[in-house]
Structure 1
Amino acid sequence: MQKSKTETLIQKYLSHQLNEQELEELKLWIEEDASHREIFVKLLSLHHVNNQLNLLHQFDKEASWKSIQHRCNRSHTIHRRIAIYSSAAAIAILIGITSILYFNGQKPVPAIAQNEQPQQSPLPKNTETPKATWVQANHSVVPLYENQREINGSHINNGEIIFPQESDSPHKPKLDTELLQNKIIVPKGSEYAIVLADGTKVKMNADSHIDFPVQFGDTREVTLEGEAMFEVTHDEARPFIIKTHDHAIYVLGTTFNISAYPDEELSVTLIEGKLKVNAPSGEYYLLPGEHYSSAQSKVSKVDTEFYISWTEGAMEFDAMPFPLLIARLSRCYNVDIQIASKELETMKFTGVIFRNKPLDFALDIIHRVSDVKFEKKGETILVKKQ
């Protein structure tokens, strides 16, 4: 494979643009020589650790490749960065390229014993399995499937429910419709999308739920627990308010992500527009590309891709504490995974997990490139240090 071709494939991988044929070519190049794998893993680590190689398709190709070569040739610099990460017990791994580390036809050793291997799929495929649950204002419970007929004026199709729109009946809603609350509950192992009465789009992540009125009145207020991506319809006269944990997020019209799972920090990442976060510690204003963290009680500039990649089927992590990674995997795949070795609680994870890959593949790759092993005990998967 020519150098220029390798360069292009690596750049396209880092920007999530590889097609199936290019993916196979990259796999072959990595498997040609152990040094190729070492270079690739180093580049992946540099990409996530420094955020300097993000979205490489926007940069000049030749200049990017020279920068990559320069970093690889400076072995002492790379070793120093790897040493820093090793001291923090960090993992820089690739998850999602099929069998990328299975060299020379070696038979893979499963992370979990074969007779205990969990049978998992990344997302429910059975159309008979509800993608979400709709608790109506009258407390009746309606399971929501991938494709479904109209229910009470709400259209359901392709994993999305569209509620009756205000634009179809612009008169002021009655007080009782403002007070009556709907709830959408998204279970572990699933995702679901909602279009609220004002046209606001909400994409819900696994193990999340949102409460909202049948119709909005003079204000638009919802309550969220879990994670969701919002595209709020602009309405200067009616602010959109999201209440979660002990915070309130105010917005007129913008795109942003909120992660507010129980026992985890609240994080708000702004993609477009402007919003205000009311927190116990004060008020915080966000501009595009900024991130609020309740753990640090501050706003900082971030690579937003790490916080919204889940909406495109890939989850990117940058030095994420291992316990949080395990919690994400448990929600994503609807399994009980627990850390059984205390020393793993200080590990950190940098890499990419693709949702269309099964859990056993992800665990096997983690097992192969890190100092951990997985054991099945009943319905629980234990993570231990090797």
Structure 2
Amino acid sequence: MLSGEKLSPEEENVLTKRLKDGKQKRRLYELQRIWHAVYAHKVSEQVDEEEAWKIFVSNQKPGRKLRIWISSVAAVTILIGIALSLTQIQKRIPGFHATDTTQSSILPRNIILTLSDGQQVVLSDSVNDLQEQNGTTIRNKAQQLVYHPTVHNEQVVYNTMWIPRGSEYQLILSDGTIVWLNSESEITFPVNFTGEKREVKLKGEAFFDVAKDERHPFIVKTEQFDIRVTGTQFNVRAYTDEPASATLAEGSIQLVRQEEVIPLVPGQQALLKQGIVKVREIELREAIAWRYNAFYFKQQPLESLLNEIARWYDVEVIYQNPTLKKLHFTAGFQRSCSITEVINTLGMTQKIRLEIKGKTLLVKEYK
């Protein structure tokens, strides 16, 4: 059932009877929590199902038995798979519908909008409409900032939006382009596009759904490269402490770096590492899971995985032994999980031991 398999009539009948028992309902909830939270295993091309089951069972409290009333195949799938509803993400990814708004479970914290006159506004539910010097109306509602040009004005006026750790926000530009901003990101943009091109500057990560306008190309400028499009959906990741990348979900884009112009097709990612741009095929769920309130790591070094965790949960990571950074993991979980759930389940791999002390995450060897 949890794994997506259809139960037989006999199994459905047994399940219905069992759920009338409060203890059984709690056991089902536990399985659901595991499925929706995290399962991580040291990376290999094929998951060792028997070993994964042994690891899970060995971590259960003494004397505690899990009576699994759903089919054995479904139960094993729950526990040895990446315990995240990746199929839900996959169903939503192909179309990338703009109506999928920022997750309501995310609470904005000190998101700052800097207006053209230098005034800084902390966005909150109490902040409603703002107005810029050139007459543009800015509407803030439900974790979304929308720009409405009220009159045609050639005056170029810029705003800057800063998203701190542990937050995300949605921005709708004056041309209708939708931008989802991830944690620790900053975007600078004109409140009203004028001239021959639409240009924004980005630090950090954002997913763009660009309003189509072939006469006015849309350009995302980063410190590492530029992305040029006319109307499409793509993700740009440009943090200063890791390789920058651009991933195309729909349409087409061009990555421009110095004299080099690199076209991408859907499902491709351009990765800039040590001054060289490489294009590779990539699973979209891996690159943009954050956009759907989830994390997905496939054969990622522990350092990369925990950097992402640190950015979302606003913690500092300290390694007892630097060699631990090179361990590889595959893991998936929802961003609504608590950091305690995340580190407890990662510890189930018996490869590392994680301890949270205040805002410090200690990474130790498993002993």
Work out whether the TM-score is over 0.5. yes
How many residue pairs align between the two structures?
300
1:202 to 154, 159, 179: 179
Shift of 1:291: 0.9
Residue in 2 aligned with 1:135?
114
Equivalent residues in 2 for 1:1-386, closer than 5 Å: 5=1, 8-9=4-5, 25=28, 102=60, 130-146=109-125, 148-152=127-131, 153-165=137-149, 169=151, 171=152, 173-174=153-154, 177-178=155-156, 180-218=157-195, 219-280=197-258, 282-295=260-273, 297-376=277-356, 379-386=359-366
Q: Which whole-Å CA distance do the structure 1 matches of 2:291 and 2:147 have between them?
A: 21
Q: Which whole-Å CA distance do the structure 1 matches of 2:303 and 2:104 have between them?
A: 24
Decide whether aligned partners of structure 1 residues 251 and 224 sit closer, same or farther in structure 2, where only a CA change above 3 A counts: same
Provide the secondary structure at the position in 2 that maps to 1:163.
strand
Would the aligned equivalents of 1:131 and 1:146 in 2 still touch at CA under 8 Å? Answer: no
Decide whether aligned partners of structure 1 residues 368 and 340 sit closer, same or farther in structure 2, where only a CA change above 3 A counts: same
Provide the secondary structure at the position in 2 that maps to 1:162.
strand
Provide the secondary structure at the position in 1 that maps to 2:128.
strand
TM-score when normalising by structure 1: 0.68
Q: CA RMSD in A?
A: 3.8
More helix by share: 1
Provide the secondary structure at the position in 2 that maps to 1:326.
helix
Decide whether aligned partners of structure 1 residues 312 and 29 sit closer, same or farther in structure 2, where only a CA change above 3 A counts: closer
Would the aligned equivalents of 1:186 and 1:206 in 2 still touch at CA under 8 Å? Answer: yes
Shift of 1:385: 1.1
Residue in 1 aligned with 2:80?
none
TM-score when normalising by structure 2: 0.71
Query: Given residue 327 of structure 1, which amino acid in structure 2 is its aligned partner?
Result: N
Decide whether aligned partners of structure 1 residues 306 and 78 sit closer, same or farther in structure 2, where only a CA change above 3 A counts: closer
Decide whether aligned partners of structure 1 residues 282 and 380 sit closer, same or farther in structure 2, where only a CA change above 3 A counts: same
Provide the secondary structure at the position in 2 that maps to 1:360.
helix
Shift of 1:289: 1.1
Query: Given residue 142 of structure 2, which amino acid in structure 1 is its aligned partner?
Result: N
Would the aligned equivalents of 2:347 and 2:353 in 1 still touch at CA under 8 Å? Answer: yes
Gaps of 5+ in 1: 12-20, 32-36, 51-76, 84-91, 94-98, 107-122
Decide whether aligned partners of structure 1 residues 147 and 356 sit closer, same or farther in structure 2, where only a CA change above 3 A counts: farther
Shift of 1:100: 12
User: What does the per-residue CA deviation read over 1:9-44, in whole Å, with 9 as the maximum and x for residues that have no partner?
Assistant: 499xxxxxxxxx99965955999xxxxx9xx97xx8
Query: Given residue 212 of structure 2, which amino acid in structure 1 is its aligned partner?
Result: H
Provide the secondary structure at the position in 2 that maps to 1:188.
coil
Provide the secondary structure at the position in 2 that maps to 1:369.
coil
Q: Which whole-Å CA distance do the structure 1 matches of 2:224 and 2:167 have between them?
A: 26
Gaps of 5+ in 2: 8-18, 20-24, 65-102, 132-136
Q: Which whole-Å CA distance do the structure 2 matches of 1:217 and 1:325 have between them?
A: 40
Provide the secondary structure at the position in 2 that maps to 1:217.
coil
Shift of 1:297: 1.4
Q: Which whole-Å CA distance do the structure 2 matches of 1:100 and 1:30 have between them?
A: 18
Q: Which whole-Å CA distance do the structure 1 matches of 2:122 and 2:189 have between them?
A: 18
Provide the secondary structure at the position in 1 that maps to 2:343.
helix
